[in-house]
Amino acid sequence: NAGVTQTPKFQVLKTGQSMTLQCAQDMNHEYMSWYRQDPGMGLRLIHYSVGAGITDQGEVPNGYNVSRSTTEDFPLRLLSAAPSQTSVYFCASRERTGELFFGEGSRLTVL
Amino acid sequence: GQSLEQPSEVTAVEGAIVQINCTYQTSGFYGLSWYQQHDGGAPTFLSYNGLDGLEETGRFSSFLSRSDSYGYLLLQELQMKDSASYFCAVSRQAGTALIFGKGTTLSVSS
């Protein structure tokens, strides 16, 4: 099993560009989520999903969109990137309860 | 809303014992988890408390008091490799979002 796979690992964008961070898990987990991590701010929840077709906002959802068309995939879309979105992004999944499994992270720089 | 408070930094020497506290305020509470993150890496699960009391996993233990909205992570026989960031996290209900604290950076010296 690959676990949680995120792509790309590194990305540089210009202000105003759009992009999608991909996240896939092969553990048949119901729950998937996206976090951003900035120095001194811990892990802040952006969006999460409790199953295919169901998404909800987290603590810092502005500027990000998500969808969950399959159990396996949970992409995060930046429609118009801003320098404030420079961060490390982590995707994570778990069964309904229990341990949260994280991907290796996607490091995004917006110039 | 939800908030979690934990110390930003803790220092200790090899072989010592260190306790990282976490206090939380949430509108509902299902459980308290602890995660470890080494520099540049992904967070990894350490421990979970759903009920009051102590959970032990090797050198690591975690404690929860629901009535005090308080928990801690206890690390014994510290090793250099324990230098990392430690996060507490709470969920309000089963199957819902996990909210993290800002993390505690533990530095272990020889």
Confidence of residue B64 (pLDDT cuts 50, 70, 90): very high
Q: Would you call B41 and A104 a contact, using CB atoms and an 8 Å cutoff?
A: yes
For residue B102, list chain A residues with Cβ-Cβ distance below 8 A: 40-42
User: To probe the interface with B, which of A43, A50, A104 has the most B CB atoms within 10 Å?
Assistant: A43
How would you label A64-101 residue by residue, b for 16+ Cβ within 10 Å and e otherwise?
bebebeebbebbbebeebeeebbbbbbbbbbeebebbb
pLDDT digit string (tens) for B5-19?
999 999 999 999 999
Q: Report the pLDDT value the prediction gives residue A91, as an integer from 0 to 100.
A: 98
A74 touches chain B (CB under 8 A): no
Looking at residue A18, its pLDDT comes to 96
- What is the pLDDT, as a whole number, of residue A45? 96
* Per-residue model confidence as pLDDT tens digits over A56-86: 999 999 999 999 999 999 999 999 999 999 9
Phi, psi of B80 (to 5 degrees): -55, -35
pLDDT of residue B18: 98
Residues 6 or more apart from B10 whose CB is under 8 A from it?
B18, B20, B104, B105, B106, B107
**CB within 8 Å: A43 and B87:** yes
Contact A35 B100 (CB under 8 A): yes
pLDDT score of A97: 78
Greatest CA span in chain B, whole angstroms? 42
User: CA B6, CA B63: separation in Å to the nearest integer?
Assistant: 14
pLDDT digits (tens, 9 = 90+) for B78-101: 999 999 999 999 988 877 889 999
Give the contacts of B103 (CB within 8 A, at least 6 positions apart).
A42, A43, B6, B8, B37, B85, B86, B87
In which element (H, E) is residue B34 found? strand B31-37
The percent of residues above 90 in pLDDT, for chain B, comes to 85
Whether chain B has a CB inside 8 Å of the CB on A48: the answer is yes
> 23-42 in A: which are within 8 Å (CB) of B?
30-31, 33, 35, 40-42
A12-61 pLDDT tens trace: 999 999 999 999 999 999 999 999 999 888 999 999 999 999 999 999 99
Contact list, A105 vs chain B (CB under 8 Å): 41-42
Distance from CA of B94 to the nearest CA of A (A): 6
